[in-house]
Amino acid sequence: MAQKWYQSVGVRAALIVTIGGIIVASMNILHERSQLKRDVTDKDTRIAELTDQLSSIRSEVQRLETQLAPFKIIALEKYTGSEQETLRKLADEIQELKDPLKKLIASATSRVVVTIKSDAQAQGSASYTGAGGHLMFVKDRQSLLATAGTQSNARWNGKGEATYEGDFSIAPGASSGVGDFAGQPSN
């Protein structure tokens, strides 16, 4: 009897190798597929986390923009230039307000009353127009504040004392009176 083609040893060996190859390839494919599925699941999880973070960041940006809106309006009304420039100018102004000692003095008024011994034994008073004076606050020979007045009043009490009074203020339009005399009295 003649042998059928599939009964030969070579064909059987080829069939066994082919079937074995198919089984090994199938196992590799299944393994790669399961690994790919895990990777996709991990990526999907990471995408979901990043999406949540992005949503949270967008919410925070919206909240900050809502808080910034009034300042934008003030800055754009008060200053000229781009929105960024006007906000920077407003921020600088706010920073100056935080330290009031750095702010220029717009006005200052003081009343000075001095009582001294006097030879005058009479009672009475007098007003001196054009005969005021200067009042200066100095620290370490540096003028901190200088004010001036153009009038003064005097009273004698008849007991050997005279009281002089004057109102001193920063002149309108003066820089601020701060450091005007650099620690030196005026003439």
Q: Which amino acid type is present at position 109? A: T
Q: Residue 30 pairs with which residues in a beta bridge?
A: none
* In the predicted structure, residue 183 carries a pLDDT above the cut 50: no
**How far is it, in rounded angstroms, from Cα 143 to Cα 35?**
80
Q: In the predicted model, what is the mean pLDDT of residues 154-167?
A: 85
Q: Over the stretch 12-25, which tens digit does the pLDDT of each residue have?
A: 888 889 999 999 99
Q: Over the stretch 113-147, which tens digit does the pLDDT of each residue have?
A: 888 888 776 677 888 887 778 888 888 888 777 88
Which residues does 87 contact at the CB level (< 8 Å), separation at least 6? 71, 72, 75
**How far is it, in rounded angstroms, from Cα 101 to Cα 114?**
29
Specify the pTM: 0.38
Q: Over the stretch 87-109, which tens digit does the pLDDT of each residue have?
A: 999 888 888 777 766 666 777 78
**How far is it, in rounded angstroms, from Cα 86 to Cα 76?**
6
